[in-house]
Amino acid sequence: MLLPNAKAEAAMLEASMGEPLPPVRVIPNGSPRPTAGEPGSSSVGLEPGSFVLCVGRVEANKNQLALILACRQLDVPLMLIGAE
């Protein structure tokens, strides 16, 4: 079974493999929002929902620059976590 993160990713896999795929189920990335005091709640002085968190490799095709510019324009704190 293939577990892509989006329908578009499933379509790209199907197009690139050139043969029937095993069963596919789209599983979006994400996690439930922690409440204050729970493990995983904000430990950097920002309440959950008051900032944008972007986790992943920093690379052009992920367009983190657009995210940086949007957060700057909206005056919303941004945290980037990931390797170059």
The amino acid that residue 34 corresponds to is P
Tens-place pLDDT, residues 33-64: 555 555 555 555 566 668 888 888 888 888 89
User: Are 49 and 36 contacting, i.e. CB atoms less than 8 angstroms apart?
Assistant: no
Structure tokens at 53: 């968190």
- The CB-side HSE value for 21 (13 A sphere, CA atoms) comes to 16
The model scores a pTM over 0.85: no
| pLDDT mean across residues, the chain | 79
